[in-house]
Amino acid sequence: MIRIKHKFIDHQIDPNTETLIIGTFNPDIEGNKAEFFYGRSKNYLWTLLPTAFEESNLKGKTKTEKIAFIKKHKIDFIDLISEIEVQDDEKLNYTDTLIDGKVTEWTEVIEEISKLQHLNRIGFTRRTFSGIPNIKQQIEEVKKYADQNGILFQFLTTPARFYNQQKQEEWSLFF
């Protein structure tokens, strides 16, 4: 068994954040070329976000450009999972259905949210929960906290796998 930390575990959420995007996990493993949240080749968040603001596509752009964009629009990111433990032959499989039962450390998302004085919107990058009861339980607690504190919470279609107009419209409406 090996323990895998979140690749961006040291990321500090900007205290001026108004919109927080919550994901599940980004493993710090060899071969994961993501330089920042949602930076893998089959993820289209960096197309969806700028398009929602009628700005240039940031997919494939530098971490510096992406950070400038999120600061400008007061957006930031956090993931539910900080660490997992898997068999060595599973380390390249970071699907939610596998990692759901392999979590050794959850991120204190509610604690982080409670520090954000300007937060008014949370988006979770998933709509379905088949095969991931632990992730579902964690995000339900976050949603409950958001509802109790007057923070809009929305489940969003994943930005992964493909890009299309329907997905873009959903993300644009969120912003």
Q: Provide the token pair at 27.
A: 């493993």
Rg of the chain over Cα atoms, rounded to whole angstroms, equals 15
pLDDT tens readout for residues 14-32 = 999 999 999 999 999 988 8
* CA within 13 Å, CB half, 106: 17
* CA within 13 Å, CB half, 46: 23
Question: Under CATH, which architecture does the 14-80+108-174 domain have?
Answer: 3-Layer(aba) Sandwich (3.40)
Query: Would you kindly state where each structural domain of the chain is located, as residue ranges?
Result: 14-80+108-174
Q: Is 33 exposed, middle or buried (0-12, 13-18, 19+ CB in 10 A)?
A: exposed
pTM: 0.95
| Residue 76 confidence (pLDDT) above 90 | yes
Q: What are phi and psi of 118, to 5 degrees?
A: -105, 5
Whether 57 contacts 50, CB under 8 Å: yes
| Residue 94 confidence (pLDDT) above 80 | no
